[in-house]
Amino acid sequence: MSPKNTNLRASARQEKTFARFTLGQRWEHAVLILSTFTLLLTGLPQKYREMSWSQDLLSTPERLELIHQIHHIAAIILAVEALYHLGRAIYLISRRKLSAAMFPNMQDIRDAWHMLQYLFFLRKDKPIFGKYNFEQKVTYWFLFFNFAIMGISGFIIWFPVTFTLFLPGGVVPASKMAHSTESVVAAIFILVWHFYHVHFERLNLSIFTGRLNEKEMLEFHGREYQRVAGQPTVDQNE
Partner 1 sequence: MTMRNLQRQASWLILAGVGVLLFSFLTVFPVNARPVAQETEKFCLSCHGDSTLSMTLPSGEEVSLYVSQDELDHSVHSNKGIECEACHNNISGYPHPRIKYKTQRELSLAYYQTCEKCHSANYEKTQDSMHAQAAAEGNLDAPVCTDCHGHHDTSAPDEPRSLISETCNKCHTDIVDAYKQSVHGAALLEEDNPDVPVCTDCHGVHNIQDPRTDAFHVQSPELCAGCHADKELMDKYDLSSDVYSIYKRSWHGVDISVYKARWGTVWHDSAVCTDCHGVHDMRKTDDPLSKVNSKNLLATCQECHPTAGPNWVDAWTGHNEISLERTPFLYYVDKFYTSFTPFVLWACIIYVVLQIIRSIADRVRSTLS
Taking the C-alpha atoms of residue 180 and residue 39, their distance in angstroms, rounded to an integer, is 12
Q: How many residues bind partner 1 (CB under 8 A)?
A: 35
- Interface mask toward partner 1 for 167-186; x: CB under 8 A: xxxxxxxx-xxx--xx-xx-
Taking the C-alpha atoms of residue 180 and residue 198, their distance in angstroms, rounded to an integer, is 26
Please, which residue, 81 or 108, has the CB nearer to partner 1?
Answer: 108
What is the closest distance, in whole angstroms, from the C-beta atom of residue 215 to partner 1 in the complex? 16
Q: Which amino acid is at 37?
A: F
- Interface mask toward partner 1 for 192-221; x: CB under 8 A: xx--x---xx--------------------
Q: Indicate the SS3 state at residue 17.
A: strand
| Beta partners for residue 17, in sequence order | 213
Taking the C-alpha atoms of residue 229 and residue 238, their distance in angstroms, rounded to an integer, is 22
What residues numbered 67-86 form the site for partner 1, per CB under 8 A?
none
What is the closest distance, in whole angstroms, from the C-beta atom of residue 203 to partner 1 in the complex? 14
Closest CA to 147 of 80, 101, 208, 200: 80
What residues numbered 110-149 form the site for partner 1, per CB under 8 A?
118-121
Angle (nearest 5°) at CA 83 between 77 and 86: 140
What is the closest distance, in whole angstroms, from the C-beta atom of residue 192 to partner 1 in the complex? 4
Q: Indicate the SS3 state at residue 235.
A: coil
Please, which residue, 21 or 158, has the CB nearer to partner 1?
Answer: 158
Q: With binding defined as CB under 8 A, does residue 189 bind partner 1?
A: yes
Please, which residue, 21 or 142, has the CB nearer to partner 1?
Answer: 142
Please, which residue, 35 or 139, has the CB nearer to partner 1?
Answer: 139
Taking the C-alpha atoms of residue 31 and residue 25, their distance in angstroms, rounded to an integer, is 10
Q: With binding defined as CB under 8 A, does residue 104 bind partner 1?
A: no
CA distances to 25, 68, 158, 163, 212 from 208, in Å: 9, 30, 33, 38, 11
**DSSP state letter for 200:** I
Q: With binding defined as CB under 8 A, does residue 66 bind partner 1?
A: no
Residues that bind partner 1 (CB under 8 A): 49, 55, 60-61, 118-121, 160-162, 164-165, 167-174, 176-178, 181-182, 184-185, 188-189, 192-193, 196, 200-201
